[in-house]
Amino acid sequence: MPGKTPILSRRDALVGAAVTLLALQGCSSSHPRLPGYVPPPLDVSGARSLRAQAAAHGLLTGFALSVPLLQDSEPYRRVAREQCSIAVAENTMKWGAIRPTRADFNFDGADAFVQFCESHNIKMRGHNLCWHESLPRWFLDTATPENARALLTEHIRVVAGRYRGRMHSWDVVNEAVWIADGRPDGLRTSPWLKLIGDDYIEVAFRTARQADPAALLTYNEYGLEGESEGDQQKRIATLLLLRRLRQRNVPIDAVGIQSHIKARSLHGYGPSLRSFIQSCKSMDLEVFITELDVDDRELPSDSGHRDAGVAATYADYLQATLAEPNVKAVLTWGVDDAQSWLNQRSRRTDNKPQRPLLFDQDFRPKPAFAAAAAAFAGRSNGRRPQNPHSGSLQDRHSQSL
């Protein structure tokens, strides 16, 4: 009609709405026909959040959080409180952050993390109390065989004691196994081992139990995930370590499998890792997937292909590990791709940023999000295939060492 503004037909309105939704979704991964591609949902809040979907299947889930970003970025805070039922501070509870000097403890960052989590009903993992990295300069300059044991126990008493009764779990000892150091027991010749001796691990766990009896005390390790010979050796050495701790009645409740994995890994992930998790169960240990991310260096530049490949890797890895009932938590190492440590640690040859996490640089859920949610949902439905190697890996391999 002349003079009247044309109104949209119903069809046009629907098409417009669909386009708007797609734009909101952000088609960083607009390749629905790629193998492994799972369309990410538009709405990931409430019942569609990872935390809700994990809870329905007996799991806790969440991210490593950066305290500076929690303080600076509302989108970051929003995703964290929407998705996490558990979180860990990426760096803020490490020695390097908490111990500026021998005499001082700086809890500003750690307290801010705890405050955020407690105010949003998010359980917390503490990371970590004893590691060969993130040791302050003053420590490396002044620690001696005479004072190291007291330095370790004092640190654990003060730090774990401060948050007593409030932490879900603590990574008491991080990354203590390193086969290449050539010791028969597979232990890393870390500063702690050199200064204190191989019982430093036991000392750390016993002190942590006294400082926070309610926290699940965890041994956290990487390089356990794959089917390669190197990972197999590390699994064996780790199981032997765990068994020694058990035999000596050292208080330990859980194993953290870091899970820094790779898309298009040559060896894949699955049977041997499941066998490892079953061996943990036979020692009555819970298992947490503590630092999951998928390095996409081996995938082509195109972001759609990468998102599909990363999602497929998440799907495979989580399907395998979540089939084991003693796996109780899944945390990714970061919230969004832009902040991933892999952008420093494992740069792509095309210099593009890595896309290893569940949310992209604009906090939009990726196909990997849908893959993780589907793996959570499949947990209680999937029948567990019988594994002929279950239960006794550590026994079989202890004889061969």
By annotation, the residues acting in catalysis are 175, 291
At 55, give phi and psi (nearest 5°): -60, -35
**Which amino acid belongs to residue 278?**
Q
CB of 291 to ligand XIL, least distance (A): 6
As measured in angstroms, the least distance from the Cβ of 99 to ligand XIL is 15
Our CB check for ligand XIL shows the closer of 106 and 398 to be 106
Closest separation in Å from C-beta 328 to ligand XIL? 19
Instruction: Out of 205, 314, 341, 376, name the contact with ligand XIL by CB under 6 A.
Output: 341
Q: Does 190 bind ligand XIL (CB under 6 A)?
A: no
Question: Is 221 among the residues that bind ligand XIL (CB under 6 A)?
Answer: no
CA 168, CA 231: separation in Å to the nearest integer? 28
Cβ nearer to ligand XIL, comparing 286 with 291: 291
Residue 69 C-alpha from the chain's centroid = 18
Q: Which residue has the tokens 């007593």?
A: 164
Rounded CA-CA distance 143/146 in Å is 8
CB-wise, 304 or 356, nearer to ligand XIL? 356
Is 174 one of the binding residues for ligand XIL (CB under 6 A)? yes
Q: For residue 259, state whether it binds ligand XIL (rule: CB under 6 A).
A: no
How far apart are alpha carbons 12 and 228 in whole angstroms?
55
For the segment 280-299, give every residue that binds ligand XIL (CB under 6 A).
Answer: 291
For helices 148-162 and 200-211, what crossing angle results, to 10°? 30
91 part of the interface to ligand XIL, by CB under 6 A: yes
Count residues near ligand XIL (CB under 6 A). 7
Kindly report whether the peptide bond that precedes residue 128 is cis, defined as omega within 30 degrees of 0: yes
Nearest-CB residue to ligand XIL? 341
- Token duo for residue 60: 């806790």
d(CA 208, CA 206): 5
Binding site for ligand XIL (CB under 6 A): 90-91, 174, 222, 258, 291, 341
